[in-house]
């Protein structure tokens, strides 16, 4: 099988195990069925997710110009507490920012090698957890908008991690008796006073099941440093494809790269 197109983040479907689809714009390739097969991915160009330009990708799938101008790459995407659409104040494009920020958001705890706190739109659950490679996740608050969730996250990250350490996530070590509810109960006191009413105990912890077993060593591979990766696909976790020898390709970090993919399905 041969495909070519622009890399978008993989689409997922929660299940046992999670189902992954590589999204090349025109083609969705079912990746679970390629585990154990030989794949070759070759970098042949760039295509900005926003303007389609073939300029080099700068960050988040955007060329440099779009990264600094698009409302989809604004500061509030990374730092929800800076959100201002609920006040009617725009940063780059108020209408787009309203469409992103003025929806119910969830503050959650996730185990991605460490217990971390995160924020996402309610409609992004469990997709967000899968993208981060969380083994366990537990919603701890539901807010009316992105700003409120961001303010809770800021207070809690004084006490918990808020970034995923990708290497620890891929090592896939965890205690079987880990219970995020214990962490939820402990951090309740750190909720900002004005946002206590969003604290929620109604959720159960979810466990996510990846088509993945951690290899002995973990090596990061980028198409920037080396335009071709070839080998046996051994598993998938988060947005990472794992190749033999413990080589990992972070699909999300390659959004906007145009590639050719060849899969040998005759084996």
- Alpha-carbon distances of 97 from 76, 90, 101, 197, rounded to whole Å: 9, 7, 6, 25
Measured in whole angstroms, how far is the alpha carbon of residue 117 from the centre of its chain? 14
Closer residue to Zn ion (CB): 48 or 187: 48
- What is the smallest separation between the CB atom of 69 and Zn ion, expressed in angstroms? 8
- What is the smallest separation between the CB atom of 44 and Zn ion, expressed in angstroms? 18
Closer residue to Zn ion (CB): 63 or 109: 63
Q: What is the C-alpha to C-alpha distance for residues 246 and 203, in angstroms, rounded to an integer? A: 35
- What is the smallest separation between the CB atom of 223 and Zn ion, expressed in angstroms? 19
- What is the smallest separation between the CB atom of 233 and Zn ion, expressed in angstroms? 30
- What is the smallest separation between the CB atom of 257 and Zn ion, expressed in angstroms? 14
Long-range contacts of 160-164 (CB under 8 A, 24+ apart): 160/109, 160/115, 160/116, 160/117, 160/187, 161/114, 161/115, 161/116, 161/117, 162/116, 162/117, 162/118, 163/116, 164/112, 164/113, 164/116, 164/132, 164/133, 164/238
The residues that touch Zn ion, with contacts defined as CB under 5 A, are 48, 50-51, 53, 63, 66
Closer residue to Zn ion (CB): 52 or 182: 52
Closer residue to Zn ion (CB): 50 or 151: 50
> Which is it for strands 206-207 and 136-143: parallel, antiparallel or unpaired?
antiparallel
Can you state the angle between helices 146-156 and 94-101, rounded to 10 degrees?
60
- What is the smallest separation between the CB atom of 35 and Zn ion, expressed in angstroms? 34
The single-letter DSSP state of residue 196 is: G
Closer residue to Zn ion (CB): 9 or 116: 9
Closer residue to Zn ion (CB): 73 or 138: 73
């Amino acid at each position: 099988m041969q495909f070519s197109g622009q890399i978008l983040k993989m689409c997922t479907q929660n299940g046992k195990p999670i189902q992954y689809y590589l999204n090349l714009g025109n083609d969705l390739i079912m990746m679970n069925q390629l585990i154990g097969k030989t794949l070759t991915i070759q970098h042949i160009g760039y295509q900005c997710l926003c303007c389609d330009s073939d300029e080099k990708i700068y960050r988040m799938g955007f060329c440099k110009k779009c990264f600094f101008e698009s409302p989809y790459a604004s500061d509030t995407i990374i730092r929800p507490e800076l959100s201002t659409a609920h006040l009617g104040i725009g940063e780059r494009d108020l209408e787009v920012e309203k469409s992103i920020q003025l929806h119910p958001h969830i503050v959650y705890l996730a185990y991605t090698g460490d217990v971390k706190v995160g924020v996402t739109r309610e409609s992004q659950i469990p997709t967000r957890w899968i993208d981060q490679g969380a083994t366990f996740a537990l919603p701890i608050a539901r807010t009316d908008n992105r700003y409120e969730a961001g303010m809770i996250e800021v207070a809690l990250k004084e006490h918990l991690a808020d970034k995923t350490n990708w290497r620890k996530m891929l090592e896939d070590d965890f205690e079987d008796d880990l219970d995020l509810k214990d962490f939820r109960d402990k951090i309740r006191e750190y909720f900002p006073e004005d946002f206590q009413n969003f604290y929620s105990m109604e959720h159960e912890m979810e466990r996510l099941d990846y088509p993945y077993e951690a290899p002995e060593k973990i090596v990061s591979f980028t198409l920037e440093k080396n335009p071709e990766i070839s080998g046996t696909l051994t598993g998938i976790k988060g947005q990472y494809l794992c190749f033999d020898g413990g080589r990992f390709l972070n699909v999300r970090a390659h959004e906007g790269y145009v590639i050719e993919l060849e899969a040998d399905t005759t084996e």
